[in-house]
Each structure stands twice: as C-alpha cells, then as structure tokens.
Amino acid sequence: MRVARTVAWAIAPLAALAQPSLAEGLSPVEQLGKSLFFDGNLSANGVQSCSFCHDPGQGFTSAHGQFNAAGAVVEGAVPGRFGNRKPPSAAYASFSPVLSHIIDDGDVTFVGGDFLDGRATGGKLGMPIADQAQGPFLNPAEMAMPAAACVVWRVMHPKDPAAYPVTLAQVWGKDVAGVAFPEGLEASCADPDAKIDIPEGEMADGIDAAFDRIALSIAAYEKSAEVNRFSSRYDKWTRGEGKLSDEELAGLELFKAEDKGNCAACHVLGPNTQGGPAVFTDWTFDNLGVPRNRDNPYYTQAANKEGKDWVDPGLGGYLKTDPVFAPYAEANMARQQVPTLRNLTLRTGADMPKAYMHNGYFKTLEGVVHFYNTRDVLPACADPAASEAEALAANCWPAPEYAATMNKDELGNLKLTAKEEAELVAFLRTLDDE
Ligand code: HEC
Ligand code: HEC
C-alpha cells in the first residue's frame, strides 16, 4: 500500500493530491490533518497544497526539479511570486520545542521554534509545529489566501468531499459548530489581494478558533508515525535488525568524533525531545558561512527592498521584531536552525535534483561535506557568485553570505581525507526512511 502510493506520487503528483486515501493507522485528527496537508484548494491557484513544497516522496521537501537545481525557492500560488528560502523538511520538524533561550556564563543561546529562523515559536498554540501551519496559507509568496476566513470556509465546504473522509466538524465538534461567515465571502476568496476585514466580535472569534483547529489538525498529522517513520537503515541497525557496511560505520564514527567530523556537536545523536530515536538536531541556530545562491529568485522580487544586497537575516531577523529579544538580534544575524539530517537523499525519481542549506546553494552531499572540511582552507573563488559545481571544479569557495557571525570554532578545517569525506556521505545516506 505504501509502496503503491509512493509510486503514484512520483508519476502524477496533482492527481494524488486530490485523493488521500483513508490511511491505515491514522487517528481521526491525523487523517483530517493529512487531508488538509494535501488539499490544493486551500491556495489561491487551487493546486498549491502544503505537499506541493513538502512532498513525502522527496523527504517532505520540494520535488520541483527546475527550482531545486537553481534558486531552490518554490514559486508561490500567485505566478511570479517567490519567498526567500528553500523548503526544509516538514517531517521531524514537530520535535522542535517551544522557542526558548538559555543563559550560560553571559552567553545567550536560542533553542527551538520552527522555520529556519525560529519565528513559529509555539507561543500561540503551544507547539511550534502548529504555529507554523498557519503561516503558508496567508503568505502572499506561498499559498496566498487573502484571509483566514477563506481557508476556514473552504475547509468547511470541501471542493472534493471524498478527500475529507473525516471532516473538521467531526473532529472538533462544538469548537467549530457556531462558525459564521460574512455575506459574499466566497467570491472574494478567489482574489489573493482582496481586503477582507471582519470586525472584532463573535464572527471573528469563531473563525479564529476554527483556523486554530485547522493548524492543530495539520500538526497532528505532522506528528504522526506516517510522517516521522524512523524506518531508515540506521534505525534498523540501532534496533539490531540490520547491518551497516564498514564504510557507513566508519562514517558514523567520523560523524561523532570531536576531532574529526564533529557533526554530532549540532546534529545530535541522542534521544529526541520526546525520548525516541535521534532526529539529528539540537534545535539551536548557527551561521555556517554558506555562500549566497546567485539564483535565489528573491533578489529580484518587488517585496525585497534591498535587491541584490539582501542577506538572509535568519534568527536575528526574527529577534529584531521582538522588543525583549531585539538586543540579541545582531549576534544572531544569519544564523539558521540546525535541520534534521533524515531523508536527505530521498527523491521522487532518480534524476530529481536536491537542494541543501537555507538557500539551496548546495545540490550534493559531497559538496556539503567538502565545504565543512575545507571552508577555511581553500582560496576564495575569483567569482564571488560561483555555483557549487563551479567552486568544486575550481577548488575554491565563494565568500560567505554573511561573515560577521560565522561559526569558526566547529567547522571549516576538519582535515578529513577524501576517503573520510566519502565515508561521511555514505553514513548520511543511511538516514533515509524506507
Ligand atoms: C511555496 C512552497 C511552500 C508551501 C506551499 C508550504 N511550505 Fe512549508 N515551508 C516552505 C519554506 C520556504 C519554508 C522555510 C521558510 C522559513 O524558514 O522562513 C517552510 C517551512 C516549513 C516548516 C518548518 C520546517 C522547519 O524545519 O522549521 C514546516 C513544518 C512546514 N513548512 C509545513 C508546511 C505546511 C503545513 C504547509 C501548508 C499549510 C506548508 N508548509 C506549505 C515552503 C512551503
Ligand atoms: C555548529 C553546528 C553544526 C555542525 C558542527 C555541523 N552542522 Fe550541519 N548544519 C548546521 C546548520 C545550522 C545547518 C543549516 C545551515 C543553513 O541552512 O545555512 C546545517 C545543515 C546541514 C546539512 C543540510 C541539510 C539540509 O536539509 O539542507 C547537512 C547535509 C549537514 N548539515 C551535515 C553535516 C555534517 C555531515 C556535519 C559534520 C561534518 C555537520 N553537518 C556539522 C549545523 C551544524
């Protein structure tokens, strides 16, 4: 059953989106969340579901080869509109704790939240993964719905009722029973730029409550065992159910060793926040000095007032918006959240390109590992906008996108041999769910 569905996605993604089958092993709220996750009608163009940018067959990242191979940002539901980051994995993101900060010896370390800059803090709905789920629907560069009311209306009036074997009303009962909508709302919902103002009061409260339940349902699906499978060859090996090759085991040792790869310093191997197997992140933030991706479409977007000079502000950009945290913004500029390393090479087809890091600069794991190993050793590329392939060919690295906060202690000159780099890559490949 699972195998059959994966194949269907690979061949005809849009057809599959419209009809999630009642999956085995999902609770009613998880099934509702799954229907929502695959519902293209919850976007301005009627086809951009969450799965459009987070495809299960691609490790819950983008399966759009033309974007992955270049700027790595996926076009939103409104043609020509792009955000500024690559879609990270939606799987395993639910393990991130509520954003908090730890003060140790005068140093302040931020931990948790979802999105690469942690701005889905979990402060609204109690968990980052639920706060996150409200963002894409209303983001003009993503699903581009004009108002939460439109999302709620469409969820309560599904275009394809068969795609909702479990409805919002069935799961949430009286919490959503009294929802009312303004006259003529439906017609305005087709226009992403429509101004839809619902005055404070009972109607607005009802819609907000339903929008919260929609996010909580998606979160339930993203927390389910169907999304977070822990079924990789690595997991089987840790359970004593399968073997890893000598090369893969050597890679694991390098991954752990502080005087070798040192990867586990950030991509931790211990139990996750729920006590289960590793998800390979400590949910902190770092600036690795990744070069700019010259093909990032955001450089030429009207919404970007800085044009070519734009630098991804990462965590610092979010902290700036909070009066309590603003004093820490500068020190956290360009720091991105440590991502999971699960499903790095899952793809919907043998030729489907992948993109790594916040801006998708890297297309290969070989390039990523070589960068960790030699960032501070190789000369700066003559062309500061060199692509990964060009840099590898010329044996150089372009300057970092943002240098001031770059981590110089834990990476950059690992002194690994070519064989050791290959062993690390071999280990990373054992982390794909089956
Ligand atoms: C147009 C592409 C696109 C669509 C559609 C989209 N996302 Fe995303 N998603 C992204 C990008 C880009 C990011 C990273 C954004 C950032 O960090 O600012 C992201 C981040 C996330 C994350 C956080 C991952 C992490 O490691 O912090 C989750 C979870 C997620 N999306 C789930 C969803 C859900 C649920 C929906 C539907 C309601 C959705 N996405 C729709 C592109 C998309
Ligand atoms: C100091 C913390 C730290 C260390 C040490 C570290 N990483 Fe990372 N890793 C990160 C952060 C932060 C990112 C995301 C950076 C970005 O998007 O700009 C990342 C991203 C990655 C990615 C890209 C994942 C994706 O989905 O885009 C891979 C692969 C990776 N790391 C592998 C490794 C390996 C292998 C090692 C050891 C050689 C390592 N990391 C060591 C913090 C670290």
Report the nearest atom of ligand 2 relative to the CA of 312. 18
Q: How far is CA 386 from the centre of its chain?
A: 25
Residue among 86, 96, 368, 431 whose CB has most ligand 2 atoms within 8 A, to mutate:
368
Report the nearest atom of ligand 1 relative to the CA of 42. 38
**Rounded-to-integer distance, Cα 324 and Cα 320, Å:** 9
Distance from Cα 87 to the centre of ligand 1, integer Å: 6
The angle formed by the CA atoms of residues 399, 403 and 408, to the nearest 5 degrees, is 100
Q: What is the model's pLDDT at position 22?
A: 52
- The ligand 2 site (C-beta within 6 Å) comprises 88, 261-263, 265-267, 286, 288, 290, 336, 338-339, 341, 344, 356-358, 365, 368-369, 372, 407, 410-411, 424
Ligand 1 atom 32: residue of nearest CA: 90
Query: Counting ligands in written order, which one lies closest to the CA of residue 93?
Result: 1
Residue with tokens 């990744």: 290
**Rounded-to-integer distance, Cα 417 and Cα 97, Å:** 36
Q: What is the model's pLDDT at position 7?
A: 29
Query: Counting ligands in written order, which one lies closest to the CA of residue 337?
Result: 2
Distance from Cα 338 to the centre of ligand 2, integer Å: 6
**Rounded-to-integer distance, Cα 20 and Cα 325, Å:** 42
**Rounded-to-integer distance, Cα 26 and Cα 361, Å:** 36
Residue among 39, 68, 142 whose CB has most ligand 1 atoms within 8 A, to mutate:
142
Ligand 1 atom 30: residue of nearest CA: 90
Ranges of residues in the chain with a pLDDT under 70 are: 1-23
The angle formed by the CA atoms of residues 341, 343 and 346, to the nearest 5 degrees, is 145
Query: Counting ligands in written order, which one lies closest to the CA of residue 52?
Result: 1
Taking a C-beta distance cutoff of 8 angstroms, is the pair 163, 19 a contact?
yes
Q: What is the model's pLDDT at position 5?
A: 27
Burial class of residue 339 in the structure, from the number of CB atoms within 10 Å of its CB (0-12 exposed, 13-18 middle, 19+ buried): buried
Residue among 259, 338, 365, 369 whose CB has most ligand 2 atoms within 8 A, to mutate:
338
Taking a C-beta distance cutoff of 8 angstroms, is the pair 196, 149 a contact?
yes
**Rounded-to-integer distance, Cα 311 and Cα 294, Å:** 12
Q: What is the model's pLDDT at position 8?
A: 29
Tokens, residue 156: 């309560």
Nearest to 325 by CA among 113, 159, 52: 113
